[in-house]
Structure 1
Amino acid sequence: MVSRFWWGHGEGKRGISWVSWKQLCRPKCDGGLGFRNFELFNDALLGKQAWRLVVEPDYLWARVMKAQYYHMGEFMSAEVGHRPSYTWRSIMGARGVLERGLR
């Protein structure tokens, strides 16, 4: 959507992308426009929700998730399970962010 906004020329027409998306996502001080890398930003937000499941297990949201998806164990050892919700699949997909950052 962002690239269509910057390079689109109307309905059904394609514009020319003069600069790569990777270049535009670089910080302004490095010659880019400072756009966010949406995939990394999404992973960071999902990782934050996973972190909350670990450090704030008494919150209502964490208790509901635990009762639904990993009632017999801990979040870091939980599995995706059978017919998980989109939210649970997304958080489990971002669990790697936590695994790389935990000490």
Structure 2
Amino acid sequence: MIKSVLQVISSYVMSMFPSPLIDDIEKMLNTFWWGGGSNNNKGIHWLARDKLACLKAKGGLGFRNFKAFNMGMVAKQAWNIIQNPNSLAAKLVKARYFPRSSLLEASLGYNPSFAWRSIWKARQIILRGCRWRIGSGDKILVIYDPWLRGKGDRWVSSPQVEDMYHLVVKDLILENYKMRDIA
């Protein structure tokens, strides 16, 4: 009953804004689970909160981690802004908060709204997991953008001469062979 009611109600609100209600929802969940129905609210703590939020396959009860779920939902909104730049919402957010850059390069700015602070914080999730598709390579900066494959560092991390900071991936590709210039 808890999972079907309490966890689903907040999904819509969490899809756009990190809700200050997260702590209240977790308190209600904990009170229901551990409260015991008495006036002193000193129920028996049968299971730690970490176990409640752990997957059932790992011995938990499979409850949702509200903070992680919330950040995931807001990161989804940020991803929608990146993927659909011609949508009305993307145009409005871009015009107000990052008119001369992309969402991934945007700064928090002065006097940001609650929604922008949330999206700006959630973009860190996207930055940790996204990679560029090389394509022609004319828009991907060698030093700044996450374009390298593999599980290691996705950026070129060694110090470079000043000319390298404006170098794009296209400059590293041999045009006729569609492969990297090793020299």
Calculate the TM-score normalised by the size of structure 1: 0.91
Structure 2 segments unaligned to the other structure (5+ residues): 1-27, 132-183
Q: Higher helix proportion, which one?
A: 1
Higher relative contact order (CA 8 A, sep 6+): 1
**How far apart in 2 are the matches of 1:49 and 1:35?**
23
Aligned alpha-carbon RMSD (Å): 1.4
Q: Does 1:32 align with 2:60?
A: yes
17-26 or 87-96, which deviates more? 17-26
**Paired position in structure 2 for 1:46:** 74
Picking from 91, 95, 111, the partner of 1:63 is: 91
Structure 1's 85 and 10: CA in aligned 2 closer, same or farther, altered over 3 A?
farther
2:33 counterpart of 1:6: yes
Higher radius of gyration, 1 or 2? 2
1:36 alignment partner, SS class: coil
Distance 1:15 1:64 in 2: 49
Aligned residues with identical type, % of pairs:
42
TM-score scaled by length of structure 2: 0.53
SS of residue matched to 2:41: coil
Measure how far apart 1:12 and its partner are.
5.5
Q: CA deviation at 1:97?
A: 0.5
Deviation digits for residues 1-38 of structure 1 (CA, Å, limit 9, x no counterpart): 21122112355533232211111111112221100111
Could you list the structure 1 runs, at least 4 aligned residues long, displaced by more than 4 angstroms after superposition: none
Query: SS of 1:14's equivalent?
Result: coil
Q: How many residues align?
A: 103
